[in-house]
Amino acid sequence: EAQVTQNPRYLITVTGKKLTVTCSQNMNHEYMSWYRQDPGLGLRQIYYSMNVEVTDKGDVPEGYKVSRKEKRNFPLILESPSPNQTSLYFCASTPTSGSHTGELFFGEGSRLTVL
């Protein structure tokens, strides 16, 4: 089944404790992206990657890191989480970077709470 898989789905952590949210897609998509979703603010892009070893900042990159060592994986790293990073996170992918289509395939989401 074609899908985008995120882990963990739910996580409660404390300020300053490094964590990684993994994202994997099995559709051979070039483009992958991370979003956070907060009440009243919609989906905001954190980082994106147009291909292996190519990553770039989105609208809200502060406090996050990403890597794209393999095509299928795009982990989101919070080196020192803070309470303002409490949010619902989505990973998404699409076949071709620079494509005119915008049909993103989303994961199921990861609910992160930072105490």
- Say whether residue 104 binds other proteins (CB under 8 A): yes
Which of 45, 73, 86, 113 is close enough to bind other proteins by CB under 8 A?
45
Task: Residue 48: name the closest of 37, 39, 38, 61 by CA.
Answer: 61
Q: Are 36 and 7 in contact (CB under 8 A)?
A: no
Helix (H, G, I), strand (E, B) or coil at 60: coil
Q: Which is nearer to other proteins, 18 or 92 (CB)?
A: 92
- Say whether residue 81 binds other proteins (CB under 8 A): no
- Say whether residue 73 binds other proteins (CB under 8 A): no
- Residue 26 CA to residue 73 CA, distance in Å, equals 9
- Residue 21 CA to residue 39 CA, distance in Å, equals 21
CB of 113 to other proteins, least distance (A): 12
Of 14-22, 62-70, 73-81, 87-95, which segment contacts other proteins by CB under 8 A?
87-95
Q: Which is nearer to other proteins, 48 or 74 (CB)?
A: 48
- Say whether residue 11 binds other proteins (CB under 8 A): no
Q: In what order do the strands lie in the sheet with 76-78?
A: 4-7, 19-25, 76-78, 65-66
Distance of alpha carbon 44 from the chain centroid: 11
Q: Which residues bind other proteins (CB under 8 A)?
A: 4, 33, 37, 39-45, 48, 58, 88, 90, 92, 98-109, 111
